Every structure is written in C-alpha cells, then in structure tokens.
C-alpha cells in the first residue's frame, strides 16, 4: 500500500519546514503539550489528563518529587525478557561453551557488582555476548522506561546525564559488565547535588574503565579522565585557554586564587590528583597484593602521586590524606562559575532551544551557584528554567533525536514496549543514535544540524514505518476494527500524534497519493490491511513538524 518514495516525499516536505514557520501555525502550542513534549518523552492522553488536573507548576513539582523506584515500572521490567543467541564455541585457552538461544530476564539491572565479576574473568570460558549482557539489558530497559515510566522528567534527565557523562558501554567487557551500576548512579542523582553526582561518576567503574583512569598511577598519570572532566563534565571547552596563555599566572583570576579557565598544565595536574582511583576487580597491585573482587571503586594508595600540585592557581600541599587531592579537585570544579555556566547552558539546550538566551543561562548559573550545597541543586535549576518567561514564550524548535522520536511515537500510540529483540537499537544506530554505545566521550550532539543529514532523515522514515510492525519486535499494539471509514480510522491514529485539526489536513491530502480510498468502511478491511492503514497514518504524522519539533 505504501511506497518508500511516497514516504520520502512526505518526509522532505516536513523537513523543509523545520526552520520556517508554517503558515497559520501558532507560535506556541497548547501549554500542556509544550511542557510535556519538552519535559517528558512525549505527550500522551494519560499525561495530558494529569497535567490538566495538577496544573503546570503542580505537574512539575509532582515530577520532581517522584522517587527513583516505581512499583509498576519495576514489575514491567521484571516481566521483560531479552533474547540471547549465540553458537557453540571455544576460546584461545580451550574453554568451550554450548550454543544458546533463550529469553532471559533483565537480571543485571539489579545485580550486585561483585556477582558480575565472573563476566570479566577470562579464565572462565563464555561467549562475548554473555560478557556484554548487562549493557544490553540497560539498552533494552531504556526504551521501556522512556515509554512507560511515570517519572518522565527523571527519564529525560537521565538520558541528558548519560550524554553529559558519556560512557561507551560497548568499549570492552569491563564497561559493559558494570554499565548497569553507572546507569543506576545517574538515575539516582538526576535532580540532586551536582558535586555529589560528580563524585559518584568519578568512582563509577564503567567511567574509570572507559577513560582509562582505572590504570592511572604516578609517573606518568593517564590524562584521559582529567581532560574530559575539565572539558566535558565541568568547565567546558570554552574555558580551555591554552591558545591564549602559556603560564598559569597569566590566566584571568589566577592572581585572586582561582583561574577562570584551564591550560594543559592543569590537565596534567588534575591527572596526578586522580592517580590511584581504580576498580576492585582482582587486578595485580604489587607483589603479593591484589585488588578486592568487589566490582566497585577501589583506591590504590601505592599508585597515587602524593607530591604538591597547582590546579587552577590553587596550591595543593604534598602528602595529603588518601583521595584528598581528587576530592579537592571535584570541590573546586563543582563550585566554579565556569562549570555553572557550562552545565546550565547544556540543560537549557536540552530542554528549550539549541541556542538558549545568554541572559537565561546567566540566571540559571546564579541559581546553580547559590544552591551549590543544596541536596536538590539540579531540581532548583530545572525549576528556574521551566518557570522562566523564556520557557513559555519559545516556540517548538528542538528536533526530536531518533531515540526520543521512537519513544514519543510509542507513547502517543499507546504501544506496549518490551523490547525482546532490541531491534530498535540496530535501527537507531543506522540513524546515527547509539543508545549507550556512543564512542566519543562528548555524547550525542544536541543540535539540529547533527540530525538533518540525508542518511539520518532516511532512517527516520524507516523508524516511522517500522516501529509498529510485528517483525520490529519492540512493541505490541492492536489496530482493532472500528466503525466508520478508513479515512476516519487513519485520521484517528494520526490525531494521537499531532491533534485532530492537523491530522485531518494531513490524512485528507495524503490518502489519495497512497492509494487509500477514504470512503471504504473499516469493517471491510482485513486485519493486515487495517494495520497498513494505521501504520501509514502514524508514520505520516510522525514525519510532520508538529511531531518532530518540541
């Protein structure tokens, strides 16, 4: 019924309007959808009802107050199954394993890290899919959570922090095995205190492995984590001043005791401060000494560089207490004005606009710094952003990235997501989205230009087409028979995504081109053809600016 060419034509028409106001289109849509599409993974009937009952501020406060755990979501995750499938094999040490093809629960999500130590033990023979299994479970759970979690703002911000503190779970078996703990750490602290979260991330085994700090010891220290801590996690690349200054005392603020930016010299010194921050994975430390097998953070004092340091013009005396150097670095960075501006701009970019107003960012940074010791510091920043005049006045302009588009699609249609095959992960990767497997430490881009290339847009068409197909094996939905015509049937499904008025215009213009007679009664259609009409209407609506922009 539906050709790829027809969908590409519809897609190109939609994309052409992304940067241009549509004639007669209101600058800002209904408040409920404006808020829900920015602060959740997409408006649906249940969230619109809750928003109407609570009001805007009431809904926001309710979202900020929801706990990490939710009984209904936990039950859904416990019932989910993910296929694991591999052939029999043998490793280079002669260890053999049998062929496996089975559906398993997402047990790694709540596993004790010590129980996952076997996955990084190469004296045990197993297929690599077993070693990577915990990360794959987090990927499967991510879509279930994004679609079904009542705490939608927590899910949106968890994805934000995953990009901010990016870890490629597919780097090796170590990042994969302990990735569920990294996810749980971010999920716990999304609305909390930035310094607390920064410290937990610095101790995250997945992060330590990803940026090689697990091996960092004196002479010479590994610089990977130190550089990303400064450039991506705190001060930002805009405060890297190595092209302007050659000596630490030349940097503005240095004479007053705190440099306003950093040089390569600071990177080297920060790296020294974090020597010895490692993982309890049974590794050899020194003659007769091994790390414990906890699967958690482990400090190796013998590897630490204890001598004096100078970081951002702050003098560190030598021979400090264990871990004191690294903790002091985190204290300094968490309170730095540069960190406040960088982090707040990223939050505003994620939730509001690609280029947030500098005045708004400055006000958010003031809130960040004023609440630097508060347990709800990040929640205070979010509240200031969402209740700002700019939030209500800014028209929808953020393009839904592939993962967000898929989650919003399922929320709008009411699909039941269980992700037994995580086919969505492969399809998203074709569109440039590597859920929890993005290689560079920058995390996915949050600007529109990164997601409007021809290849990405073509894959977006595929997502719209495939998402509700049985073979896609990510979600279940029934396109039940209904009274009326297939034209009305198609409009009804499109309206779930873009509203009645826009759906009527879209479907009315498209049905003829797609070879669908709007007058045919729905009852005359086979189940297969009924599904085809619904999928066509949903996909067309998903490719409009009304749906793609939030």
Q: Residue ranges of the domains in the chain? A: 4-18+398-548, 71-208, 211-352+355-396
Residue ranges in the chain whose pLDDT is less than 70: 1-29
Q: Quote the pLDDT of residue 6.
A: 53
**Three-state SS letters, 17-34:** CCCCCCCCCCCCCCHHHH
State the Cα–Cα distance between residues 547 and 550, nearest whole angstrom: 7
pTM for the model stands at 0.94
State the Cα–Cα distance between residues 173 and 226, nearest whole angstrom: 23
State the Cα–Cα distance between residues 308 and 316, nearest whole angstrom: 5
Q: Quote the pLDDT of residue 517.
A: 82
Dihedral angle sign, alpha carbons of residues 275, 280, 286, 289? positive
* DSSP designation for 162: H
Q: How far is CA 457 from CA 276, 422, 469, 479, 548, in A?
A: 45, 21, 19, 27, 11
Q: Quote the pLDDT of residue 14.
A: 45
Estimate the share of the chain in helix, then strand, then coil, as percent rounded to the nearest 5.
55, 10, 35
State the Cα–Cα distance between residues 76 and 83, nearest whole angstrom: 16
pLDDT tens-digit readout, 346-366: 999 999 999 999 999 999 999
Q: How far is CA 340 from CA 7, 326, 334, 498, in A?
A: 44, 20, 8, 37
pLDDT tens-digit readout, 185-202: 999 999 999 999 999 999
Is omega for the bond preceding 220 within 30 degrees of 0, making it cis? yes
- Give the residue among 199, 193, 222 at the shortest CA–CA distance from 210: 222
Contacts of residues 255-264 at CB distance under 8 Å and 24 or more positions apart, as own/partner, are: 255/313, 257/313, 257/314, 258/312, 258/313, 258/314, 258/332, 258/336, 259/312, 259/313, 260/337, 260/338, 261/235, 261/338, 262/230, 262/235, 262/312
């Amino acid at each position: 019924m539906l050709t790829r060419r027809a969908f590409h034509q519809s897609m190109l028409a939609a994309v052409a309007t992304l940067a241009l106001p549509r004639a007669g289109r209101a600058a800002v849509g209904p408040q409920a959808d404006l808020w829900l599409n920015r602060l959740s993974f997409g408006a649906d009937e249940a969230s619109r009802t809750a928003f109407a009952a609570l009001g805007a501020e009431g809904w926001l406060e309710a979202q900020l107050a929801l706990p990490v755990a939710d009984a209904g979501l936990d039950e859904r995750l416990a019932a989910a199954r993910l296929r694991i499938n591999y052939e029999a094999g043998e490793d280079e040490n002669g260890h053999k394993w049998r062929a496996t093809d089975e559906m398993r629960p997402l047990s790694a999500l709540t596993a004790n890290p010590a129980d996952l130590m076997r996955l990084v033990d190469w004296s045990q023979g197993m297929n690599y899919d077993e070693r990577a299994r915990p990360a794959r479970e987090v990927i499967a759970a991510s879509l279930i959570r994004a679609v079904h979690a009542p705490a939608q703002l927590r899910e949106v911000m968890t994805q934000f922090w995953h990009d901010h503190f990016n870890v490629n779970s597919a780097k090796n078996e170590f990042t994969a095995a302990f990735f569920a703990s990294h996810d749980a750490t971010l999920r716990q602290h999304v609305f909390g205190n930035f310094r607390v979260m920064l410290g937990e991330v610095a101790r995250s085994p997945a992060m330590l492995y990803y940026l090689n700090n697990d091996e960092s010891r004196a002479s010479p220290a590994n610089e990977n984590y130190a550089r990303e801590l400064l450039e991506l996690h705190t001060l930002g690349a805009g405060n890297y001043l190595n092209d302007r200054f050659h000596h630490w005392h030349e940097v503005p603020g240095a004479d007053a005791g705190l440099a306003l930016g950093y040089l390569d010299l600071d990177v080297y010194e920060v790296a020294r401060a974090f020597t010895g921050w490692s993982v309890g994975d049974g590794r050899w430390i020194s003659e007769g000494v091994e790390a414990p097998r906890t699967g958690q953070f482990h400090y190796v004092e013998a590897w630490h560089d204890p001598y004096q340091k100078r970081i951002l013009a702050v003098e560190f005396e030598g021979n400090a207490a264990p871990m004191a150097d690294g903790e002091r670095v985190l204290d300094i960075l968490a309170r730095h004005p540069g960190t406040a501006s960088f982090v707040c701009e990223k939050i505003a970019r994620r939730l509001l606009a690609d280029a947030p107003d500098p005045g708004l960012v400055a006000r958010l940074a003031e809130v960040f710094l004023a609440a630097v010791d508060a347990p709800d510091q990040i929640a205070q920043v979010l509240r200031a952003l969402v209740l700002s005049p700019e939030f209500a006045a800014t028209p929808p302009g953020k393009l839904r990235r592939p993962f967000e588009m898929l989650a919003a699609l399922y929320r709008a249609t009411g699909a039941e997501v269980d992700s037994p095959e995580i086919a969505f992960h492969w399809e998203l990767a074709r569109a440039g989205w590597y859920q929890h497997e993005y290689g560079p430490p920058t995390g996915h881009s949050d600007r529109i230009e990164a997601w409007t290339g021809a290849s990405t847009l073509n894959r977006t068409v595929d997502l719209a087409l495939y998402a509700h197909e049985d073979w896609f094996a990510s979600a279940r939905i029934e396109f039940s028979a209904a009274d009326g015509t297939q034209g009305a049937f198609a409009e009804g499904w499109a309206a779930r995504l873009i509203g009645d008025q826009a759906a009527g215009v879209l479907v009315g213009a498209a049905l003829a081109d797609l070879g669908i007679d709007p007058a045919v009664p729905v009852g005359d259609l086979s189940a297969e053809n009924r599904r085809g009409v619904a999928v066509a209407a949903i996909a067309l609506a998903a490719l409009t600016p009304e749906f793609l922009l939030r």
